């Protein structure tokens, strides 16, 4: 069955994947980017028997592909940016496929700065991206041809996080990106406890390995590995140059990045969410 690592783009998904892969798929907790292959993205073409000609066609493949995944794997982590939605009576996932999920949420005022860099947008375009209820993505800037099976139906940033955190269909662990920065030892330990519980693992936590996993996946280490050209999940800008993935991380502070005018604009758009998530 599937354990989802779900988030809106640029919210810390790759950081959590890195930690989990270093803890569960190594003997000593030492991370390298090759380990991310153990936690692949969904959807991608490797999970589909039928070629996806258009992004919208993928919704008809969700259930079939996840059924095949569950036949093949007793437990598998999958990364996704898809909202937990239903389109044309097709559910993104169902309880018979999903063991549980981890959802990472991040202050939208810091998400907007990361989106701006990642998708080569200006701030207004990035905010429109986040506020678009019909937003979906597929990335046509990769090294290879467009793979429509990588389509993610995002909806808006607000609807995205609500679709996941408000469901009671599956066991869930909700975390804030900001808490990964402030108290990584506590949050990452709770992640392992949650995952072991829903996976029916009785293993005691290996504290030495846990500490090493946290140490080897801190933002500075991930940034250093990317600088050594060891990160293969990069995308290219319009000039076919790599866009830096691990750019600011903990240093991404909207208060110093956004103008007063734009700060007021994004605050007005997401006021209720900012209050609800205690991001004041």
Q: pLDDT per residue over 117-142, tens digit each?
A: 878 899 999 999 999 999 998 754 44
| From 29-38, 82-91, 245-254, the region with the lowest mean pLDDT | 245-254
Query: Does the structure show a pLDDT above 50 at 266?
Result: yes
pLDDT of residue 66: 97
Query: Does the structure show a pLDDT above 60 at 165?
Result: yes
Please tell me the number of Cα atoms within 13 Å of 240 on its side-chain side. 2
Q: What is the CATH number of the domain that holds 171?
A: 3.40.50.300
Average confidence (pLDDT) over 205-228: 82
Task: Indicate the pLDDT class of residue 270, thresholds 50, 70 and 90.
Answer: very high
Task: Indicate the pLDDT class of residue 112, thresholds 50, 70 and 90.
Answer: very high
Tally of domains in the chain: 1
pLDDT of residue 143: 45
Sheet strands (E) in the chain: 2-7, 76-80, 86-87, 90-91, 98-105, 136-137, 152-153, 172-176
- Indicate the pTM of the whole model: 0.89
Which residues, 6 or more positions from 253, have their beta carbon under 8 angstroms from its beta carbon? 110
Which residues, 6 or more positions from 118, have their beta carbon under 8 angstroms from its beta carbon? 9, 10, 235, 243, 245
Range of the domain at 26: 2-276
Which residues, 6 or more positions from 200, have their beta carbon under 8 angstroms from its beta carbon? none
Considering the chain, what is the average pLDDT of its residues? 87
């Amino acid at each position: 069955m599937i354990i989802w690592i779900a988030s809106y783009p640029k919210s810390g998904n790759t950081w959590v994947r890195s930690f989990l892969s270093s803890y569960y798929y190594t003997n000593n907790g030492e991370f390298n980017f090759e380990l991310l292959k153990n936690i692949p993205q969904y959807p991608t073409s490797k999970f589909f028997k039928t070629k996806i000609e258009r992004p919208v066609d993928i919704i008809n493949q969700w259930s079939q592909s996840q059924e095949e995944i569950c036949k093949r794997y007793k437990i598998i982590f999958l990364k996704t940016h898809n909202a937990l939605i239903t389109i044309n009576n097709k559910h993104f996932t169902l309880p018979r496929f999903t063991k549980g999920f981890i959802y990472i949420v991040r202050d939208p005022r810091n998400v907007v700065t990361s989106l701006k860099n990642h998708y080569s947008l200006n701030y207004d375009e990035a905010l429109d991206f986040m506020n678009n209820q019909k937003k979906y993505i597929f990335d046509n800037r990769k090294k290879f041809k467009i793979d429509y099976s990588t389509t993610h139906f995002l909806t808006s940033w607000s609807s995205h996080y609500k679709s996941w955190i408000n469901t009671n269909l599956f066991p869930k662990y909700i975390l804030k990106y900001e808490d990964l920065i402030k108290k990584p030892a506590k949050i990452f330990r709770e992640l392992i406890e949650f995952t072991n519980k829903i996976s029916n693992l009785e293993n005691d936590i290996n504290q030495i390995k846990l500490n090493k996993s946290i140490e080897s996946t801190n933002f500075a280490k991930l940034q250093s590995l990317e600088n050594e050209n060891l990160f293969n999940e990069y995308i290219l800008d319009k000039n076919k140059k790599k866009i830096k993935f691990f750019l600011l991380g903990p240093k991404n502070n909207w208060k110093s990045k956004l103008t007063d005018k734009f700060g007021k604009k994004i605050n007005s758009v997401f006021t209720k969410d900012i209050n609800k998530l205690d991001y004041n």
